[in-house]
């Protein structure tokens, strides 16, 4: 897993592009062109922790391609006292063209 600083994120995605992408995603949700199921929660009793899986599928539109992605967040509340890191998050995707497959740019096997 890569850990990105705020500067890493700002240099990778201009704020104008991020705002446009979020606005487009919310518009697709509002127009019924997105599938966003309830998050899946897996509790790990021995660690008093949880991992949440949050997938989404966007149909695309006039100005955007179909996309699929998933956010995974693991919360380990007792780790804060041990080494200050109590949560880990990962975003898979967006895979910007669903038909290209694992070997294509943005396919399901792409991790960036």
CATH of the domain at 25: 3.30.1780.10
Domain of residue 70, residue span? 6-100
Q: Is residue 11 part of a domain?
A: yes
Q: What is the pLDDT of residues 40-66, one digit of tens each?
A: 999 989 888 899 999 999 888 777 778
**pTM for the complete prediction?**
0.65
Q: Are 94 and 106 in contact (CB under 8 A)?
A: yes
Segments in 13-100 forming alpha helices (H): 15-30, 79-83
Q: Are 80 and 87 in contact (CB under 8 A)?
A: no
Q: Is residue 74 part of a domain?
A: yes
pLDDT at 107 over 60: no
């Amino acid at each position: 897993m890569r850990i990105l600083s705020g500067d890493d994120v700002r240099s990778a995605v201009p704020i104008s592009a991020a705002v446009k992408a979020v606005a487009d995603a919310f518009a697709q949700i509002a127009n019924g062109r997105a599938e966003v199921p309830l998050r899946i929660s897996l509790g790990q009793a021995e660690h008093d922790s949880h991992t949440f899986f949050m997938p989404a599928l966007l149909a695309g539109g006039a100005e955007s391609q179909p996309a699929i992605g998933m956010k995974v967040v693991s919360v380990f509340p007792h780790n804060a006292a041990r080494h200050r890191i109590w949560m880990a998050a990962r975003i898979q995707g967006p895979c910007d063209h669903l038909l290209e497959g694992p070997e294509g740019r943005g396919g399901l096997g792409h991790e960036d």
